[in-house]
Amino acid sequence: PVAVVTSRLGEVVNAQIAVAISAASIVPEAPRLLVQIYKENYSHDLIYQSQSLALNFLRRDQVALIPKFGLASGRDEDKLLGVEYNVRGSGCPILTDCWGYLDCRIINAMDGGDMTCFMADVLDGKTLSDGEPLWWRDARRKLPPEWLEHWQQKQSSEIATSRNTMNQ
């Protein structure tokens, strides 16, 4: 599903679209996740230093939020300005208007060269809407061509940066 990763370090908050998320435990009473965050992303250092993050899963009718959280950088703008959120146990923003959330504490971080793979304990989570969340396969079909082009340009630039990082 499309997830907005939120982070907080002190008074600084940020949000970005998740690159990769995976379950990391089959034990129901000890849910864990793996979340990959590229080192060049503004969120990376916020997550690394605070040792926390939250995943906010978008609803199917929230495709229009993808550019806000996925095509801009928190270095250039406050991506949560005007977005209602509250704070749970991790201290990270939890969007009040989304399909559901997972509030997480980082328990380990693995250096992946161009990214860090964070392992996180799920502290809290809740489904806030009926139906299914927005899935990437569906979101891509709904994105306007100019957003897809912007996404491709951004991704191409990130791949070039990652190649340089990986070759060092």
Task: Return the pLDDT at 44.
Answer: 96
Task: Return the pLDDT at 156.
Answer: 72
Q: Which two tokens stand for residue 158?
A: 């990130």
Task: Return the pLDDT at 60.
Answer: 95
Find all residues with CB under 8 Å of 30, minimum gap 6, and list them.
Answer: 121
Strands 100-111 and 52-57: antiparallel
pTM, 2 dp: 0.89
Task: Return the pLDDT at 35.
Answer: 97
Mean pLDDT of successive 10-residue stretches along the chain, which has 168 residues: 97 94 94 95 96 98 93 91 95 98 98 94 97 91 78 73 72
Task: Return the pLDDT at 168.
Answer: 62
3-state secondary structure the chain: CCEEEEEEECCEEEEEECCEEEECCCCCCCCEEEEEEECCCHHHHHHHHHCEEEEEECECCCHHHHHHHHCCCCCCCCCCCCCCEEECCCCCEEECCCCEEEEEEEEEEEECCCEEEEEEEEEEEEECCCCCECCHHHHHHHCCHHHHHHHHHHHHHHHHHHHHHHCC
In angstroms, rounded to a whole number, what is the distance separating the alpha carbons of residues 104 and 90? 6
Cβ proximity of 114 and 165 under 8 Å:
yes
